[in-house]
């Protein structure tokens, strides 16, 4: 009888191990933005050039790469919070801070968001629950001993804890990536180019307005581009 129980426990652990391997593919964090554009505006003599390029929507966030190239002799100050998306009503929509963008793109409480950051989907979670139940039922015949059930449940709870920790790491990596690729606040000198992402809440937009400060006059200059 003991040998049979040991065989059942071994089979249970093997089945759970297979599910752990399958889930590990979901727990490896990849960048929340699938690819980042490296094409930026080129300085043109006597002009300030602005380029915009949209990345695929991630969860509830639209990442937009903004580049500013200064071909004049006067520096311009770029402030990311002063870059706006213009909706169909002509209203300005402010960009999201990087931390909020990371949350809306797929934080720990939004596992269903379409973010490739290691989140466990509802399908994967459901498969885990069904698979764990099937594994226990298969090796115990639906009635098994306390030792067998305890081994299965204990290992299963370990998987869930591992998934939670993996999701936390994925969220941190997502936030770190958004910060690292965000448009910096800085001055653009003669023949310099500054570029990076700003993050807008999901919506329908017509234009992007880039506000910058002329360092010589102190005036605000506005450059508008169609929303990409």
What pLDDT was estimated at residue 44? 84
The pTM of this model reads 0.61
**51-58 — which CB contacts under 8 Å span 24+ positions?**
51/195, 51/225, 52/208, 52/225, 52/227, 52/228, 53/228, 54/227, 54/228, 55/197, 57/114, 57/202, 58/32, 58/33, 58/105, 58/106, 58/113, 58/114, 58/115
What pLDDT was estimated at residue 41? 82
Residue 76, H or E segment: strand 76-87
What pLDDT was estimated at residue 81? 96
**Domain coordinates in residue numbering, the chain:** 2-31+118-172, 48-107+180-226
**What are the residues whose beta carbons fall under 8 Å from the beta carbon of 149, sequence distance 6 or more?**
136, 140
Task: Give per-10-residue mean pLDDT for the chain (228 aa).
Answer: 58 54 49 66 89 90 94 96 96 92 65 37 44 43 48 51 60 70 93 94 96 96 95
Overall fold of domain 48-107+180-226: Immunoglobulin-like (2.60.40)
Alpha-carbon span 35 to 55, nearest angstrom: 7
What pLDDT was estimated at residue 221? 96
């Amino acid at each position: 009888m003991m040998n049979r129980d040991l065989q059942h426990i071994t089979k249970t652990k093997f089945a759970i191990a297979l599910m752990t391997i399958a889930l590990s593919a979901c727990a490896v964090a990849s960048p929340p933005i699938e690819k980042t554009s490296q094409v930026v505006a080129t300085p043109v003599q006597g002009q300030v050039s602005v380029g915009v390029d949209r990345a695929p929507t991630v969860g509830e966030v639209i990442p937009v790469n903004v580049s500013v190239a200064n071909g004049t002799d006067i520096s311009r100050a770029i402030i990311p919070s002063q870059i706006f998306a213009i909706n169909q009503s002509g209203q300005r929509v402010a960009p999201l801070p990087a931390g909020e963008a990371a949350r809306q793109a797929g934080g720990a409480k939004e596992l269903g968001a379409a973010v490739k950051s290691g989140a466990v989907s509802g399908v994967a979670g459901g498969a885990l629950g069904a698979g764990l139940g099937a594994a226990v039922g298969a090796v115990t015949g639906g009635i098994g001993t306390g030792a067998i059930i305890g081994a299965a449940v204990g290992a299963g709870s370990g998987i869930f804890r591992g998934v939670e920790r993996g999701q936390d790491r994925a969220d941190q990596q997502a936030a770190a990536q958004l910060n690292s690729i965000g448009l910096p606040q800085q001055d653009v000198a003669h023949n310099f180019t500054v570029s990076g992402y700003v993050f807008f809440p999901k919506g329908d937009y017509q234009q992007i307005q880039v506000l910058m400060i002329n360092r010589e006059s102190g005036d605000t200059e506005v450059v508008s581009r169609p929303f990409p």
